[in-house]
Amino acid sequence: MMDTITQLAARLNAATRITVVTGAGVSAASGVPTFRGPGGLWKNMRAETLASADGFAADPSLVWEWYDWRRQLIREAQPNAAHRVLADWTQTRPGTTLVTQNVDGLHERAGSTNVLRLHGSIWQLRCWAECNASGHGWLDERVPISPLPPRCPHCDALARPGVVWFGESLDAAVLDAAVAACNCDVFLSVGTSAVVYPAAGLLHHAQRHGAFTVEINPDATDASGVVDLVIKGKAEEVLKDVDETLTRF
């Protein structure tokens, strides 16, 4: 009986198309707290409350304080082994697609190419009033952000984080590309609780295409009972082990 690391390495070696969907767990080792794990609850508030238009309308300063805190942690963070291994695969294995729910940009900083960012970027801002002049928004990488809450440079309305909030639609082109990437040989779900749709639904698309599906996570999730192979462990350790095993094939 092959161990799970060797099983995955063998599958990857034989695969032409590999799709990886990541969540907050891949950035945990970089010091960015997950949303639902320990340290993720900020002031005891749920992510669903803070990351929503209703939450923002109720208290923009509170929501911006949360984002400002996360932006600071992300600014100080460095990509970890999980980001580095995935970056290497996107560069050296054509047919690898990386889809992320993370807004921290650590995959890109590790050198990943063509990342499909389902939930946008924490460094992007948009006008809350959606004024014409502001278009799709602007980049603001200041930490701490000032003033708090920040304002639209075009119309002086409130500015909001340019991320996708609960109840909002994902960018259609990005989602279409992610769904298309589910037509693959091996599908990996890494470091995500797999509860937020439509990202969590990508696994089911991959299964319909007959992909070999794998979860890498130290804890059980909604996906655990559904995938072909569960590798219980931390992304930064498991992916490194898989990568080292791959090179021996």
User: What is the x/- site pattern for ligand OAD, positions 111-130, by CB under 6 A?
Assistant: --------x-----------
CA distances (Å), origin 1, targets 6, 29, 182, 230? 10, 31, 28, 15
Report the number of secondary-structure helices (H) and strands (E) in the chain: 10, 9
213 binds ligand OAD (CB under 6 A): no
Q: Is there binding between residue 196 and ligand OAD (CB under 6 A)?
A: yes
Give the number of residues in contact with ligand OAD, rule: CB under 6 A. Answer: 29
Contact status: 4 vs ligand OAD (CB under 6 A): no
Buried b (16+ CB within 10 A) or exposed e, 110-147: bebeebbbbbbbbbbbbbbeeeeebeebbebeeeebee
71 forms part of the interface with ligand OAD (CB under 6 A) = no
Question: Which one of the spans 26-34, 141-149, 207-215, 223-231 is the region binding ligand OAD (CB under 6 A)?
Answer: 26-34
Query: Got the DSSP string for 179-192?
Result: HHTTSSSEEEEES-
* Whether the Cβ atoms of residue 76 and residue 191 lie closer than 8 Å to each other: no
Residue 119 is among the residues annotated as catalytic for this protein: yes
Q: Name which of 45 and 131 has its Cβ closer to ligand OAD.
A: 45
Residue 84 interacts with ligand OAD (CB under 6 A)? Answer: no
Evaluate whether 227 touches 217 at the Cβ level (below 8 Å): no
Q: Are 206 and 226 in contact (CB under 8 A)?
A: no
Near ligand OAD by CB under 6 A: residue from 7, 23, 181, 212: 23
Helices 81-92 and 235-246, interaxial angle, to 10°?
40
29 binds ligand OAD (CB under 6 A): yes
Name the residue number minimizing CB distance to ligand OAD: 25
Residue selected from 221, 227, 230, 241 as contacting ligand OAD according to rule CB under 6 A = 221
Instruction: Name the strand (E) or helix (H) holding 26.
Output: helix 25-28
Task: Give the footprint of ligand OAD on this chain (CB under 6 A).
Answer: 23-25, 28-29, 34-37, 40, 47, 51, 101, 119, 163-166, 191-193, 196, 217-219, 221, 234-236
What residues are labeled active site? 119
